[in-house]
Amino acid sequence: MAIKKNIKFDLPIGGIRAKNMQEIREHFTLEILEYARNGTLVKWLRSRKLEDELTAVQALLELDDDALFSGLCTVFSVSPRQNLLTALAQLRGEFNAAKVDVSPRQNLLTALAQLRGEFNAAKVGIKPREKTLERALSELARSVSIASNNSGLKEDNFLTQAVANTNEKITASLAKWRADVSRQQRNTEFREQFGDSLLVYVCGKVKAGKSSIGNYVAYGHGDPNRSIIDAAEPTPEFFCEAIAEDAKKPEAELTAAELEEKRKLAAQRNLAEQRKFAVGACERTASIQGFKLSGLTWIDSPGLHSRTEPKGELAQGYVDAADLILYSMSSSQPGRKTDLEEIADLLQKGKRVEVVITRCDMTDVDEMMLENWFLKS
Ligand SMILES: Nc1nc2c(ncn2[C@@H]2O[C@H](COP(=O)(O)OP(=O)(O)O)[C@@H](O)[C@H]2O)c(=O)[nH]1
Ligand SMILES: [Mg+2]
């Protein structure tokens, strides 16, 4: 005959682990109902040898939830007032949890939806203005060239050299303006792929928490499971782009190492199809992943200074076109020399950079080792 073992265990309830009836009474919450239904309460009473209560609870199990709960209140001598207070405390906890869930990300989504509307409205007037600007620049260039060729002055006139110098300066300024305009246009064309949304580019070292932040913005969760992904509303649209030059060569021309890299890239692309960023992945492929959500395009760069750091034009294109660069650093190793150099470089390019410190919730192993070392010495 099998012997039933009644191993003692504490009942997690109302934020504590109850060892006796009094602790349950003082921390009584609706959790008790679930414990009664799934058999945990019966096991707990049996393990504590509380025979009378055990019999009473077993007799209640046929009842519906309301009757069962009020019966459990009687068994545990919980007064209706106490009952009310615990219900209120539980409600407050639920409100707080809901608040945490809704506020920052929901606010961001609302702001982004609004932003998309503003982008669309602004776009309507941009094309004609660009054409007007282009016409004015061509007209100016033509006038300068006519003026420089027809000054009407004799070659030995002392003003001839002054006019030539001035024209040279004007021509140089014009060339610079034209270069600025065409760079701006290239950015605009590049940006058109993103539906003119707010472009956020996340960079930082490998394991700095970049992908987790991206997933949080996309789904409200750092590493969402399938059900969170399927239920997401609005739905982020994930994409992946190869930036390694090798990725464009025909397979027959690739070396074994390049082929391997290409295979990894395909795996990475697969991850993009998973509709989230891979968290904790050791990035070894040069690819850029991102998602579009409402008025936002979010780009997750592979870690900077990683072995296959992207130096391609595409990565640079994203950086140039980005409205905001989030520079992520782990709180265990913030502000390393290379991080600061990278940030200084971005700031010099006139980019708006915000630093995000991740893993603030964690005690680093190094800190713990240091503490132990101090204790020992
Ligand atoms: N505890 C904690 N872990 C984090 C945090 N951010 C990221 N992680 C973990 O750190 C590891 C690396 O994160 P990941 O987002 O893949 O970094 P990435 O390489 O910069 O994209 C993963 O195991 C994450 O779960 C955080 O704020 N707190
Ligand atoms: Mg990552």
* Ligand 2 centroid, distance to 103 Cα (angstroms): 25
| Nearest alpha-carbon partner for 80 in 69, 90, 95, 91 | 69
Per domain, the residue ranges of the chain are 11-78, 125-192, 198-366
Q: How many CB atoms are located within 10 Å of the residue 291 CB?
A: 23
Q: Give the whole-angstrom CA distance, residue 109 versus residue 295.
A: 8
Of the two residues 311 and 85, the one the predictor is more confident about is 85
Number of H helices, E strands in the chain: 13, 8
pLDDT-derived band at 195, boundaries 50, 70, 90:
low
* CA atoms of 275 and 186, how far apart (whole Å): 29
Share of the chain above pLDDT 90, in %: 20
Convert the pLDDT of each residue in 132-175 to its tens digit.
888 888 888 888 777 767 767 777 777 888 888 888 888 888 88
Q: Which of 207, 329, 336 to mutate to test the pocket of ligand 1 (most atoms within 8 A of CB)?
A: 207
| Two structure tokens written together for 310 | 């992207």
- Local confidence band at 305 (pLDDT 50, 70, 90 cut-offs): very low
* pLDDT for res 83: 65
Q: Which protein residue has the closest C-alpha to ligand 1 atom 19?
A: 207
Query: Looking at ligand 1, which atom is closest to the CA of residue 283?
Result: 19
- Distance of alpha carbon 74 from alpha carbon 65, whole angstroms: 14
CA of 328 to the centre of ligand 1 (A): 10
CA distances for 295 relative to 173, 235, 258, angstroms: 36, 12, 37
User: What CATH number has the domain spanning 198-366?
Assistant: 3.40.50
> What residue has token string 């190869």?
242
Is pLDDT of 358 > 50? yes
Give residue ranges with CB within 6 A of ligand 1: 204, 206-212, 223, 279-281, 303, 358-359, 361-362
Does 99 or 40 have the greater pLDDT score? Answer: 40
Give distance in angstroms: CA of 330 to centre of ligand 1.
Answer: 8
Ligand 1: which of 288, 358, 361 to mutate, most ligand atoms within 8 Å of CB? 358
Yes or no: say if 293 and 278 are a contact pair by the CB < 8 Å rule. no
Nearest ligand by distance to the CA of 279:
1
Return mean pLDDT, the chain: 79
pLDDT band at 307; cut points 50, 70, 90 = very low
Residue 353, CA distances (Å) to 203, 325, 326 in order: 10, 5, 6
Confidence of residue 5 (pLDDT cuts 50, 70, 90): low
Cα–Cα distances (Å) from 219 to 106, 107, 270, 318, 368, in that order, read 10, 14, 19, 23, 33
Q: Ligand 2 centre from 17 Cα, in Å?
A: 38
The pLDDT tens digits of the residues spanning 115-127 come to 777 777 777 777 7
- Assess whether pLDDT exceeds 60 at residue 304: no
Question: 48 pLDDT band (50/70/90 cuts)?
Answer: very high
Assess whether pLDDT exceeds 80 at residue 238: yes
- More confidently predicted of 259 and 238: 238
% of the chain surpassing 70 pLDDT: 75
**More reliable by pLDDT, 305 or 47:** 47
The pLDDT confidence band at residue 130, using thresholds 50, 70 and 90, is: confident
The residue among 260 and 77 whose pLDDT is bigger is: 77
pLDDT tens by residue, 206-218: 889 999 999 999 9
Residue 308 pLDDT level (bands cut at 50, 70, 90)? very low
Ligand 2: distance of its center to the CA of 206 in Å? 7
